[in-house]
Amino acid sequence: MTTLDNLRTRKRQLEDHLERAVGPEEREKIEGELMKIDIALSFLEKELPSQPTVSK
């Protein structure tokens, strides 16, 4: 798996977890991790525009 694949997989896992999150502290932590992943994905996708992206 590439770094992009790993980040996308982790993002999906966190989004699923966010739907089940109970408390505000847990939600805040997950949202913070999602923000970091979105920033990393944005940067990497700009650096590697020739690779096709697959949305699921």
Phi, psi of 15 (to 5 degrees): -65, -40
Residue 50: predicted pLDDT = 59
Residue 45: predicted pLDDT = 87
* Whole-number Å distance between alpha carbons of 24 and 10: 21
Residue 22: predicted pLDDT = 87
Residue 55: predicted pLDDT = 57
* Whole-number Å distance between alpha carbons of 25 and 1: 31
Ramachandran sector of residue 52 (left: φ over 0; alpha: ψ -120 to 50; beta: rest): beta
Residue 49: predicted pLDDT = 61
Q: What is the pLDDT of residues 1-56, one digit of tens each?
A: 789 999 999 999 999 999 998 899 999 999 999 999 999 999 998 887 655 556 55
| Strand, coil or helix: 22 | coil
Instruction: Name the token pair of 47.
Output: 């650096």
